[in-house]
Structure 1
Amino acid sequence: MIIQIIKLKSQLPEEELLRRAKEREAQFKSLPGLLQKYYVKLEQPGQFGGIYIWDSEESLKSYGKSALASSIPEAYEIVEAPNIEILNVLFKLRE
């Protein structure tokens, strides 16, 4: 299992960013290998993020090459390069 954390800065007001995220929800739900996605708000104004839980590195790489992934900067009007972290899960506490 792989955790991908993306932190981004957007020009959009929170309400508009959430509206756009909801519009794209079905596209993310249909991604092969995406077990869960959390939409988060960071402490600094205009900063948001996504925490993705992938079943494998292959699924993450496939998503990274997709049109959906490449559409994120425009969809959320990102103003600088996002901060992306990839973590390998050693084990999980609960099933």
Structure 2
Amino acid sequence: MAEVLFVRITSDLEIAEFDRRLIERRPLFHDVPGLVQKVYGRDRATGDVCGIYFFDSEDALAGFRESELARSIPAAYEARDVRRETFDVLWTLRPERGPFQVTDRLADTP
């Protein structure tokens, strides 16, 4: 089953420095096994930054969570707080667009 990891980071870094670090580290995620897509976002009200990760399986997510790359995230952004949440992908609104295709289990779900 596909998995989503949501990571929200609170940091005192200036936006420009945070963004510089995001861009510098972005290539490190290209070769993460089972990582289909990663979306970066920022909360306008708080300045908190999030990463929304789409994994092709629970095993891929578990492997990432145990990796040095995942463990390095709080220090890389001088995080004061890190919130992590995981979700099973149930279905997608537009399966033809991805990042996941509808599985047989969900094919008849509106």
| TM-score, normalized by the shorter chain, greater than 0.5 | yes
| 1:1-95 to 2 correspondences below 5 Å | 1-80=2-81, 82-92=82-92, 93-95=94-96
Aligned residues: 94
Shift of 1:43: 3.4
Gaps of 5+ in 1: none
Q: Which runs of 5+ in 2 are unaligned?
A: 97-110
Q: Secondary structure at the match of 2:63?
A: helix
1:50-94 CA-partner distances (Å, limit 9, x unpaired): 1000001101110111110111111000012x1111111112232
Deviation sequence 1:10-69 (CA, Å, 0-9, x none): 111111111111111111011111001011101333311110000011011101111101
Contact 1:12–1:46 (Cα < 8 Å) also in 2: no
CA RMSD of aligned residues (A): 1.1
Whether the aligned pair in 2 keeps the contact of 1:11 and 1:46 (CA below 8 Å) is no
**Greater Cα radius of gyration, structure 1 or 2:** 2
User: Larger RCO: Structure 1 or Structure 2 (Cα < 8 Å, ≥ 6 residues apart)?
Assistant: 1
Give me the TM-score of the superposition, normalised by structure 2: 0.80
